[in-house]
Amino acid sequence: MSTVSFEKDGRIGRVTLNRPDVMNAINDELPRDLAAAIAEADADPDVHVIVLSGNGPAFCAGYDLTFYAEGNGSGDVTQPMPWDPIKDYRFMWQNTQHFMSLWRAAKPVICKVHGFAVAGGSDIALCADLTIMAEDAQIGYMPARVWGCPTTAMWVYRLGAERAKRMLFTGDKISGREAADMGLVLKAVPADQLDDAVEEMAGRMATVPINQLAMQKMVINQAIESTGMMETQRLATIFDGITRHSPEGINFKTRSEQVGWKQAVTERDQGTFDWTENEEIPKRNR
Q: Rg (Cα) of the chain, in Å, rounded?
A: 19
pLDDT digits (tens, 9 = 90+) for 11-38: 999 999 999 999 999 999 999 999 999 9
Pairing of strands 138-140, 173-175: antiparallel
Q: Any idea of the CA torsion for 79, 63, 122, 261, to the nearest 10 degrees?
A: -90
- The answer to whether 64 and 48 have CB atoms below 8 angstroms apart is no
With 60 as the cut, is the pLDDT of residue 72 above it? no
Domain ranges of the chain: 4-245
Which amino acid, one-letter code, is at 176?
G
Sheet holding 49-54, edge to edge: 4-9, 12-17, 49-54, 109-113, 130-134, 187-189
Alpha-carbon distance of 172 to 179, in angstroms, equals 12
**Averaged confidence pLDDT in the chain:** 94
User: Does the domain formed by 4-245 have CATH 3.90.226.10?
Assistant: yes
Alpha-carbon distance of 231 to 84, in angstroms, equals 21
With 70 as the cut, is the pLDDT of residue 232 above it? yes
Question: Binning pLDDT at 50, 70 and 90, where does residue 216 land?
Answer: very high
Instruction: Say what the pTM is.
Output: 0.95
Question: Binning pLDDT at 50, 70 and 90, where does residue 257 land?
Answer: confident
Could you tell me what percent of the chain has a pLDDT over 70? 97
- The answer to whether 220 and 229 have CB atoms below 8 angstroms apart is no
Write a three-state SS string for 228-244.
Answer: CHHHHHHHHHHHHHHHH
**What residues are paired with 8 via a beta bridge?**
13
Question: Binning pLDDT at 50, 70 and 90, where does residue 69 land?
Answer: low
pLDDT digits (tens, 9 = 90+) for 86-116: 999 999 999 999 999 999 999 999 999 999 9
**Under DSSP, is residue 122 helix (H, G, I), strand (E, B) or coil?**
helix
**What residues are paired with 140 via a beta bridge?**
118, 173
pLDDT digits (tens, 9 = 90+) for 186-206: 999 999 999 999 999 999 999
Q: Residue 87: which H helix or E strand, with range?
A: helix 85-99
Of residues 80 and 139, more confidence is placed in 139
Of residues 133 and 283, more confidence is placed in 133
**Under DSSP, is residue 110 helix (H, G, I), strand (E, B) or coil?**
strand
**What residues are paired with 274 via a beta bridge?**
279
